[in-house]
Amino acid sequence: MISTMGQVAPDVLHELAVRNGVCVRPILSRLTDTTTGEQSIVSIPCGSTQARQCPVCSDRARKLRMQQCREGWHRDDEIPADDQDDDLPAEQSENGDEDQADDTESARRTRSTRRRQDAPDLPKVPMDNRTVGTAFTTPDGKTYRPSMFLTLTLPSYGKVGSDGTPINPDAYDYHRAAMDALHFPKIVDRFWQNLRRCAGYKVQYFATVEAQRRLAPHLHAAVRGVIPRQTVKDVAAATYHQLWWPQCTEPVYVGEDVPRWDELTSRYVDQAGRILPTWDEALDAIGEDLAATPAHVVKLGSQVDYQGILGSAEDKVGKAVGYLTKYLSKSIADTYGDDDEITTRQAIHLDRLHREVRWLPCSPSCSNWLRYGVQPKDAEGGMRPGWCPSKAHDRHHLGLGGRRVLVSRQWTGKTLAEHKADRAEVVRQTLAAAGVDMPDTDRYSASAHLENGQSRFIWEPVDRAKDTDLPTWHGVMTRGINERIRWRTDYEQAKQRPHAPPDDTRSATATTAASAA
């Protein structure tokens, strides 16, 4: 136990906190118990998923995703439709419209659903109302229900070396690389829609988005059930997404020559006083132009990795789950390592790609549209190109501003909170069997109410300028480390008791007694 916080250097204390699973940048909140009037300062884990911000919270989140992946991959029972997880991102409509415009208000502005001439047709097969894979029985009576591990990539933008940098930077297509990264989620959604249509059942998946060495995003996916290898390759080759936006290849306004907000008209005007077309007006112009072409077309690369995995092959399943979630705690820019590990060529490549994603529009409401002579959707005063608040534009994300984990609705039928509760329950049972009480995770819940219906506990953010009783970072870390050591000691001792659950049951929780509390 650490008894005197002043005797421990900050960097040593930070290392001890990480080693013992204590959040290194906790959020302090003031808790008031309305029943007793007692007030206390409570530290709450930051919950970051990035190791550069908090190694402890990011590793905890990664392990939770590992459990979610493993639990849904080889299940052999169906999840009732009414139990679908509404907290997961909704799938896009599977109506087969390939050329639908991005602005879907009132469904008035649409394009023909005809497929592109340069894309092969997709086969249509009868659809089964199931989410589990097909079971195969061998002559000796054994039944197998295999599943898949897929990897999808984007096409080449130019030859790259072993360090991930272009052989010829001047010939490398940074614009297309940036546009593909900004709209990678759209092509992924389209792939799953097409795959389901060609597989004949409701394909369920757990997928993670990572960066290749060249910093282009690619997708790893655990897929329930098996689909013929050639079908998967055909679907990847036939999948595309057309972006029916105004052209954003050559900027119209650069430098100081940027449109300004006019208070009288509530519109953006250029230096000559010309009013910029609104987003809707720009899309209307595209719809009226029969010769208009998409601003960008996203396609998948020809490289598709396909592996079949049996649920009974625990070593292969565990290795695949670990590979799927290995880089979830790293940002796209962390692919090359820390700043002191990046070579000059890698730094230049990263900077050039970042420059592209910073100035390209990420959405209809992006302020970067002002560079291309279009007023952003829902525009307001003060918008400046290059300063869109979306994280897709920053150096860490390099175009990927959305979720890094994509899970279909009927993968496990549980929210992440429910998966976390499952892990906590295993710890609780282990401690209870040994006669040790685990701290109540809901003891300060904001949902706890008194008989009159009012909340018992009130949470308020601390005011560092006014609150004089706030503990120091040293104090918070010291208390957290001591608490974790005590919890881990109790848990390890409880596991040695004869009534503790078997090791294979506890393995899913690892050493999460403290995180469960």
pTM for the structure as a whole: 0.84
> Cβ distance 513 to 431 under 8 Å?
yes
Contacts of 327 (CB under 8 A, 6+ apart): 208, 210, 211
Residue 95 confidence (pLDDT) = 32
DSSP code of residue 93: P
Residue 206 confidence (pLDDT) = 97
Partner residues linked to 28 by β-bridges? 43
DSSP code of residue 160: B
DSSP code of residue 446: T
Residue 209 confidence (pLDDT) = 96
Give the closest residue to 4 by CA, choosing from 479, 501, 444, 367.
479
Q: Which two tokens stand for residue 280?
A: 């809707």
Task: Report the distance separating Cα 466 and Cα 311, nearest Å.
Answer: 57
Partner residues linked to 150 by β-bridges? 221, 306
> Cβ distance 295 to 245 under 8 Å?
yes
Q: What is the dihedral of CA 15, 17, 20, 21, to 10 degrees?
A: -120
Element (H, E) at 426: helix 416-433
> Cβ distance 473 to 387 under 8 Å?
no
The contacts found for 188-192 with CB under 8 angstroms, 24 or more apart, are 188/152, 188/219, 188/406, 189/91, 189/92, 190/92, 190/98, 190/239, 190/240, 190/241, 191/152, 191/235, 191/236, 191/239, 191/300, 192/91, 192/408
Query: b or e along 329-346 (b: 16 or more beta carbons within 10 Å of the residue's beta carbon)?
Result: bbbbbbbbeeeeebeeeb
Task: Report the distance separating Cα 513 and Cα 354, nearest Å.
Answer: 41
Task: Report the distance separating Cα 5 and Cα 478, nearest Å.
Answer: 6
Q: Which two tokens stand for residue 426?
A: 């295993």
Residue 506 confidence (pLDDT) = 41
Mean pLDDT by 10 residues, the chain (517 residues): 65 93 93 85 91 94 94 88 45 38 48 68 85 85 89 97 96 98 96 94 96 96 94 95 95 92 95 95 91 94 92 89 93 88 94 97 97 96 95 95 92 90 82 69 60 79 82 90 88 74 44 40
Q: Which two tokens stand for residue 127?
A: 């659809």
Residue 276 confidence (pLDDT) = 97
Residue 286 confidence (pLDDT) = 92
Task: Report the distance separating Cα 161 and Cα 168, nearest Å.
Answer: 10
- Phi and psi dihedrals of 268, rounded to 5? -90, 135
Residue 289 confidence (pLDDT) = 86
Task: Report the distance separating Cα 141 and Cα 155, nearest Å.
Answer: 44
Task: Report the distance separating Cα 411 and Cα 225, nearest Å.
Answer: 12
Task: Report the distance separating Cα 413 and Cα 142, nearest Å.
Answer: 28
Q: How many helices (H) and strands (E) does the chain have?
A: 12, 14
Residue 161 confidence (pLDDT) = 96
- Phi and psi dihedrals of 167, rounded to 5? -65, -40
Residue 191 confidence (pLDDT) = 96
